Structure 1
C-alpha cells in the first residue's frame, strides 16, 4: 500500500533527511520525502495510523504531517521570495542548497551534508567561474600523472614486460609512488577532506566510499613499498615485491574528479538560463513628468509612474496603456508568434517588444512583481529542486560502506585471534585491508559514466543533446508528456493555407494582397508575401500604404484600393460581405484558423486563411508515445478553437488553452503531486519555468536560448520524433547501467569473503593481490565493453 502525505515545517535538505529517516525508522514503512513539493510517499505493509507518523516526525523536529491534498501545492509566485543568502552571509560561505539553513562558514570548503562547494554572497562572475577553472586544472594534473601510473601497473601483464629492460619492478614501484603524490595530495585531496567530514558527521555519501577505498589502497601501497618484509609470500609478485595499488588509487580519484567537473559545468548552464532571462528586461525607461520626457533606470520606476514607450522599445514594467495604441510582440511570454494589437486600457507586460507606434502607459507592477521577474524566480526555484538520481550514490554508500567496514573489522579480529601464532596480527591486518581493497569501487566509478558517455554520444549523432544523466534516468520512467503547441507541435511560424477568391481569380487576388504587404514587417504580412514568392508571383508597386491598428492594412495597388483585415476593417472602407462569403469565413474560423477578408475597390472579393502548420513528424511521434502508455497533453497560449482543432487532429489525451507561463508550471506540478514523472517539451521563453520544473525538460533546438538552457534535453531538429528516439535511448542506457552495476559489484562482492579468508581453513587459499587486481580489471573491462555496446543501438 502506498500513500501520499504533506509535510509542513521543512526548510532545507537537512530537514528533508531528518523527516525521511524518522519515517523509515517505523517498522514496515518505506518512505521517500521530497522538499519541493514538501510531501512524503509512504509504502507500508499494513495500515498505520497517522498519529504514529506524527509522533515520529515531531521527535525529529518541528514538523507536522497530514493526508495529502493537491490544493496544498498551489503555486504562490508573488508570495514566494527568491532563495536569498543567509542574512549573516556577507563575507562568509554557505551551502547553495541551504542544507543547514542559515549556517555560514568563515572559510571556503564543501557542505558536510550534500558535499557541494560552499559559495560566497560576494562572488563575482569571475569567482563563479573559478570553481570550474580550478577543477579543470586539477583534472589535467590528475590525468598527467595517472596515465603513466596506469601504464606501469598494467605492463606487468604483458609477456616479457619491456619496462623491465629499463629498471626493475621495485624501482618502478617507487616511480608510481612519486607520480601518485600530486594526484592524492593536490588534485584529489578535497575528496579525502569530504570523506573525513562525512565520517565525523555520519552523513555517509559517495565521498565516504571513495575516501576509504582509495585511501586504504594508497596507505596499503605505501606500507608495502616501505616494509615489504612484513608481508607473507602469498601477497608478493613474481618479482618479490608486494603488489601495490597506486593505479587503483589514482584512477578512482581521477574518475571522481571528472564527475565533479561535469557537475560544475551543469550548474553553470542553469546560471546561463537566468542570465538569458534577465537580458529581456530593459535597463532604462522614459518617465513622463511635468510634460517632459526623462530617461531613468527601471529600478527607479514606482507604481503609478507614467512611461513613454517608443517604437521598437521593450516594455519596462507591467502596466496598461493610457494613451495611444500599438502592436506588441508578446512571443517571449505567450509563445505565440503573431503580435497582439493593443489599445487604451489594454495590459502590457515587461520584456515584450513594442511595434511601430509610440504610446503612454502607467506602471502597475514593478520590480519583483512583474511577470518577467516571476518567470526568473520560477526558473531559479525549479532548477534548485532535488533530482531523484542524486540519492543513488548515497543509498549505495548508506549500506555498502558500513557493511564493508564491519566485515573488515571482523576479519581482523578473527585472524588476530585464530590466525597463525607467529604472524596473527599481520595476517589480520593484511586480510582486513584486502577486504577494503577488493571492495574498492573502481568499476563503480565507471558503471554510470561509461554508459552515459556512450549514450550521450549516440544521442548527439541522432540530434539529441543531453545535459545530464538525470534526464536519461527519468526519461525511462515518464508517465506524462506536456508539450507546447507553437514551435513544438507546429512549425512555429504563420503560413498561408489558402487564398479564396469569389470570382475564382485567386492568383490575381494574391498578387494584390502580397503587393500591399511587401513593405510590412508584421508576421502575417510576411506570410502572405512568402506565399506569393513561392508561386513566383511578381509584385506591383504599392501607394498610400496604411496600417490600421486592430483592423488590418489598406493601400493602392495597380490603381485599385485594396484592404486586407478583419470585418471591422471592411466596415470602415464600406465594403459589404455576401452571406455566402461570410459562411465560408465562419467555417474556417471554427477550425481555429486566422482569417483575413480581402476587399478591392469597396467590394469583398475573398479571404486568406493563415495557419501555423503542424509538423509532419508530430502526429507519428505522438501516436508512438501514446501507444507506449504516455499521456500527451498540449499546453498553449493560443485560443481554444485553434487548440481544439490541433488536439482533435492529433488525438491528444487532453489540452489546455490560453496558458501563461505560471499556468503551465501549475499543470506540471499537479501531475508531479500525483506521483507522475513529467516531461515537458517547449521552445519559447514562456516555456522556461515549466522546462526547469519538469522531471525532464525537452527544448526544441529551433527555439530560444533560454528554453534550451532551462531544459535537460535539446532536440536539434526541433522535432517531436526526437522524443521517441530519446525514450528508446533512455531505456537502453538505463538497462545498460543496471548491467554495469552488476558487473561493478559482482567481482568485488564475490571477492570480499575470499579476501576475508573464508577459504583458508579448507583449502589454504588467501586472496592474492594479483587476483584482486585481476578482479578489479575484469569488472572494469566488463563495464567498458558492455557500455560500448550502446554504440550499435539503432534509433
Structure 2
C-alpha cells in the first residue's frame, strides 16, 4: 500500500443502538466488515460501541450508518454530544420495551383464560383474535421486523424463532377460527393457539425489559469519576487570582487551592501547608499532609489549609483520567453470560425450521391418505413445541431468584455474569482499609501514667484545636469521659511533629515520639515497651506530655471487622487463594494480615498497581474476585472477573462493582460465593431440562412414534407442553428461595 493510501485510512469509534444480544453484536460486526471500503471492524457489546477502520474516499460514515440500518440497527455518528445522544437512545429503548411488556401482559391475560379454560367457546375465539393481533403485531412487532431484516441478509436470531412460532400459531388459529370445517370434515378438531402466541411474546418481552433496565445504568460509574474533576480552577498570574475553565489549564500554571476545593490536575506543591483527603487514590482514611515538594492528584479533596502547586499533568494525562480510561477499558472487555444462549439459538433456529420442513416432506412421501393434513399439523407442532420460552427463561428466572435471595441476605447483585464468574473464582483479592478494617481510625489502646483527673480535659481541649486528622479519633474517645470546661491559653501547631499548648502557665505537648524527644522529656521503659508493642500491631501511637514527663500514650488504629478472620477462613476452605492489597505501609499491612490469617500481602500500592496485580493473576489462568470500597479500588474492580464493593464504600466502587455487600459485613462474602454456586446449578438444571424437552418433544411432534403406535401429537398438546416447560423452569428456579446460604 502506498503512503498516500495509508494516510487516507481512518479509525472511527461510534455508539450502536438496537443491539439486544451477543448475536446482534456479531451481526453488526459482520455487516460493517462486509461494507465496501471497510478494512476492519469490531463491536463491544458491553459498551454498545463499534469501531471501524476505513477509507473515507470509498465509504462515508453515512454509508456505514445506512448499512447498519439495513439489518435493523443504528449508529450515532454525530461529532457533538455523542454520549448524551447514546444515553437518550438507551432510555427511549428502555421505555419502549417497558410499554410493550405492560401492554402485552394486560392483553394476554384474557386470551390465556379463554384458550386454557374456555377453549370450546366460539365467541372467545373471536375476542382472542384482535387481542392477539395487537400483542403480536403492535407490542411484539419488533420481533417480526427484526426477523424480517435478518432474513433479508440470510441470518437468524432469537427474533426469528419468536416470529415464526408465534406467527404460524396465529395464522393457523385464524384459519381454524373461520374455517373449522376443514378439519372437522377430516375427523379432527379445529383448535386455536392464540394463548400460546401471546404468552410467548409476553415472556420474551419480560426478558428484554430486564436486560434494558440493566443497560440504562452502565455508564453511571464513569460519569461520577468524571465528576470528581472541578469545572473551574484558580490560577495565579503575576500574583493575582484568576478563575479559568478546567479545559484551559496548561502544564506549568501556578494553581491556588483553597480549603474544601477539589484539586483540578496533578502537580507538585510549591508553597503552603494542608492535609489532603486522598482516599479516592490511596484508599486510606487518614488525609495526607502536603508540604512544599509533595505530589497532589486531580480529584483529591483539600482540607482546611491553602496552598499553591505547579501543574505537571493536565487533561487526559492525570492519574484520575488514567483511572477513568482503564475502568472504561476493563468494563468493555466483559462478555455477557447470555452469549452462550444466543449462540445456541443461532444454531437452534435454522435447525428447528429445517426439521419442520423435513417433517412436512416426509409426511408427503410416507403419510398415506391424510398426508397433507397430518404433515401440516406435524410441521406446525414442531414449530410450536420448539418455542424458545424455556430456553429464554432458563437463565433470567434463576438469576431473578438468586438476586432476590441475595437481597434478603444483604447482597446486591447486578447481573448474571458476576454470579457465573463467582462460581468459578479461585483467587480473591481484598482491599485492607474499609474492607477488612472499619475504614475509620479510632482509639484502640490508651495508657495513662498519671492519675490527675483534669488531664483528660486538658488533652480534649488541646485536640479540639488541632487540625490533624488523628485528633478526631482522640476527641471521640474522650467524649465519654467526665470533662470539665477549661480555657487553653495558647496553641501552636508544628508540622510533622505535633502541637504545643499552654494551660494554667504549664506547657503541654501532643504528638509523635520525635516531638517528645525534642522536649528532652523523661521516658520510662514502660512507655517505650508499650509503644513498641502497639506499633508492632500496626497502631499509630500519640504521646501526651507536660514539661517534665509523658503523661499518656494513645494507640490509634483502623479496627479489624468483627467477622473478618472467620470469613477469610471460610473463603480459604473453599479452595480460594486470598490476597490483601493496600496503599498503606508494609508494617501496618502485615500486622492486619497476621491477625486475619492472610499470607499473601502487597502494600504501598497505587490504583494502577492493584489493577496490574489482577491482570497478573488472570494471566496465570486465575478467575479473580476483587473486593474493595474506595475509588482507588475502581480500576481493579473493573478489571477483575468478579467485582464486589462494600456497601459503606464510595459510590464509584459500588457503581463499578457487579456485587455490593450491604452494611459492609464480611460475613456475607462467603455467602455470596455459595449463592453463586446454587444459582449457577439452577441455571444448568434449567438449560438441561429446556434442551431435554426439545430433544424429546420435537421428534414426538414430527410424528416419530406414528408408524409404531399411531400416536400423533396434537398442536394443542404441544402448546400445553410448551407452557409446562416454561413453568417447570420457573418452579425449579424458585426452589432456591427455600435453600440456606
TM-score with structure 2 setting the length: 0.87
Q: Given the superposition, is the C-alpha separation of residues 236 and 322 from structure 1 closer, same or farther in structure 2, using an over 3 Å criterion? A: farther
Does residue 1:288 correspond to 2:236, yes or no? Answer: yes
**Cα distance in 1 for residues equivalent to 2:502 and 2:166:** 82
The correspondence for 1:242, drawn from 183, 191, 194, is 191
Partner of 1:477: 424
Q: Determine the structure 2 residue equivalent to 1:185.
A: 137
99, 105, 126: which one pairs with 1:146? 105
Are 2:392 and 1:445 equivalent residues in the alignment?
yes
Query: 1:717-773 deviations in whole A, cap 9, x for unaligned?
Result: 101111111112111111122222233333333121111111222222211122112
Give the distance between the partners of 2:188 and 2:458, measured in 1 at CA: 93
Distance in 2 (CA, whole Å) between partners of 1:104 and 1:170 is 55
User: 1:542: how far off?
Assistant: 3.1
Question: Contact 1:236 / 1:242 at 8 angstroms: preserved in 2?
Answer: no
SS of the equivalent of 1:717 reads helix
Q: How does 1:562-573 map to 2 (within 5 A)?
A: 562-571=508-517, 573=519
Q: Would the aligned equivalents of 2:414 and 2:658 in 1 still touch at CA under 8 Å?
A: yes
Query: Distance between the aligned counterparts of 1:184 and 1:301, measured in 2?
Result: 57
- Pairing partner for 2:493 from 541, 547, 563: 547
Match of 1:518 in 2: 464
Q: Distance in 2 between matches of 1:314 and 1:321?
A: 14
* 1:155 Cα deviation from its structure 2 partner: 4.4
Q: Deviations over 1:105-150 (max 9, x none)?
A: 6798997999987445544647624533443344334433434434
Distance 1:576 1:251 in 2: 85
Distance 1:111-1:264 versus aligned 2 partners, 3 A rule: farther
For the pair 1:672 / 2:631, whether they are aligned, the reply is no
* Distance in 1 (alpha carbons) for counterparts of 2:186 and 2:409: 52
Structure 1 residue 729 corresponds to structure 2 residue 688: no
Question: Which residue in 1 is equivalent to 2:281?
Answer: 333
Deviations 1:433-462 (A, max 9, x none): 221111112222322222221221121111
Post-superposition offset of 1:776: 1.5
From 531, 540, 562, the equivalent of 1:616 is 562
Partner of 1:638: 584
Deviation (angstroms), 1:641: 0.5
Give the counterpart of 1:533 among 479, 487, 509.
479
Deviation at residue 623 of structure 1 after TM alignment: 0.4
Alignment check: 8 A CA contact 2:191 2:716 kept: no
Report the CA distance between 1:532 and its aligned residue: 1.2
Equivalent position of 1:27 in the other structure: none
2:94 paired residue number: 135
Does residue 597 in structure 1 map to residue 546 in structure 2? no
**Most deviating of 736-745 and 145-154:** 145-154
Q: Partner residue of 2:737?
A: 791
Q: Does 1:740 find its partner at 2:692?
A: no
1:705 equivalent among 644, 648, 651:
651
Query: Structure 2 CA distance, aligned partners of 1:572 and 1:693?
Result: 48
C-alpha distance in 1 between matches for 2:320 and 2:531 = 37
Instruction: From 417, 427, 432, give the equivalent of 2:374.
Output: 427
The verdict on how the C-alpha distance between 1:268 and 1:550 changes in structure 2, with shifts beyond 3 A counting, is farther
Secondary structure at the counterpart of residue 560 of structure 2:
coil
CA distance in 2, matches of 1:752, 1:716: 46
Contact 1:540 1:558 (8 Å CA) reproduced: no
SS of 2:559's partner is coil
Unaligned runs of 5+ in 2: 1-10, 15-25, 27-37, 55-59
Aligned to 2:439: 492
Count matched residues: 702
Structure 1 distance, partners of 2:67, 2:128, is 30
1:552–1:227 CA distance, 2 compared to 1 (3 A): farther
CA distance in 2, matches of 1:116, 1:613: 53
Alpha-carbon distance in structure 2 between the residues aligned to 1:720 and 1:356: 34
Structure 1 residue 271: Cα displacement: 1.2
> Once the 2 structures are TM-superposed, how far is the Cα of residue 363 of structure 1 from its aligned partner?
0.4
**Equivalent residue for 2:638, pick from 689, 692, 695:** 692
**Would you say the 8 A contact 2:380–2:715 is kept in 1?**
no
CA distance in 1, matches of 2:69, 2:683: 28
Q: Deviations over 1:22-42 (max 9, x none)?
A: xxxxxxxxxxx9xxxxxxxxx
Counterparts of 1:120-131 in structure 2, within 5 Å, are 121=78, 122-123=81-82, 125=84, 128-131=87-90
Change (3 A) 1:181 1:770: closer
Q: 2:306 aligns with which of 358, 374, 383?
A: 358
Partner of 2:169: 217
Alignment partners' CA distance in 2, 1:361 and 1:440: 66
Give me the whole-angstrom Cα distance separating, in 1, the residues matched to 2:480 and 2:570.
Answer: 33
Residue 264 of structure 2 is aligned with which of 294, 316, 336?
316
**CA deviation digits over 1:620-656, x for unaligned, max 9?**
1110110010111111111100111111111114111
Preserved contact between residue 97 and residue 384 of structure 1 (Cα < 8 Å)? no
1:528-554: CA deviation from partner (whole Å, max 9, x where unpaired): 111112345456443423333322223
Decide which of 407, 426, 429 is 2:355's aligned counterpart. 407
Identify if the C-alpha distance between structure 1 residues 227 and 692 changes in structure 2 by more than 3 Å, giving closer, same or farther. farther
How far apart, CA to CA, are the structure 2 residues paired with 1:355 and 1:542?
A: 24
1:683 maps to which of 623, 629, 640: 629
Following the alignment from structure 2 to structure 1, what is the Cα–Cα distance between the partners of residues 725 and 566?
Answer: 42
| CA shift in 2, pair 1:499/1:478, >3 Å | same
- Determine which of 721, 724, 728 is the counterpart of 1:778: 724
Query: Taking structure 1 as reference, are residues 329 and 724 closer, same or farther at Cα in structure 2, changes over 3 Å only?
Result: same
Residue by residue over 1:138-170, the C-alpha shift from the partner in whole angstroms, topping out at 9 and shown as x without a partner, is: 433443343443443344544xx4xx8xxx733
Residues 148/289 of structure 1: CA separation in 2 closer, same or farther (3 Å cut): closer
Please say if residues 318 and 348 of structure 1, whose CA atoms lie closer than 8 Å, have aligned partners that are also in contact.
yes
Whether the aligned pair in 2 keeps the contact of 1:415 and 1:427 (CA below 8 Å) is: yes
Tell me: CA distance 1:141–1:190, structure 2 relative to 1, closer, same or farther (3 Å). Answer: closer
Deviates more, 1:316-325 or 1:253-262: 253-262
Higher alpha-carbon deviation: 266-275 or 313-322: 266-275
